[in-house]
Amino acid sequence: MLGLFDNRGRAMSTSGLQKLAFFLLVAVTLYVAFTGGGA
């Protein structure tokens, strides 16, 4: 799913973790942009 999981029995691959972190980074940035810094 979205390349988050690998096929070697690991729940999450390194690149999957990177993708998740990147997704969160975008989400946090948009949150800050649209709420004006959580005000």
Partner 1 sequence: MSQRFGRRYSPTPVPGDKPKLKPFHGKTRARAGARVNILFLLPFPFLIGAFFGSPAALALKLITAGLIFLAAWLTREGVLAEEAFEARSVAKRPALPRKFLGSVAMGAGLGLAGLAAGSVFNGLIFLGLGFALHTLSFGVDPMRDKTSASADDLQSERVAKAVDKAEQHLKELTEAIERTKDRPLEMRVETFKNTARQMFRTVEQDPRDLVAARRYLGVYLLGAKDAAIKYSELAVRGPQPQARADFDALLTDLEINFAQKTETLLADDRTALDVEIEVLRDRLDRERL
Residues that bind partner 1 (CB under 8 A): 17-19, 21-22, 24-26, 28-30, 32-39
5 vs 24 by CB, closer to partner 1: 24
5 vs 15 by CB, closer to partner 1: 15
Query: Whose structure tokens read 């005000």?
Result: 39
For the record, the structure tokens of 36 come out as: 């004006």
5 vs 31 by CB, closer to partner 1: 31
Q: Nearest approach, Cβ of 38 to partner 1 (angstroms)?
A: 5
CA 5 – CA 17 distance, rounded (Å): 9
Query: What is the CA angle 21-25-28, rounded to 5?
Result: 135
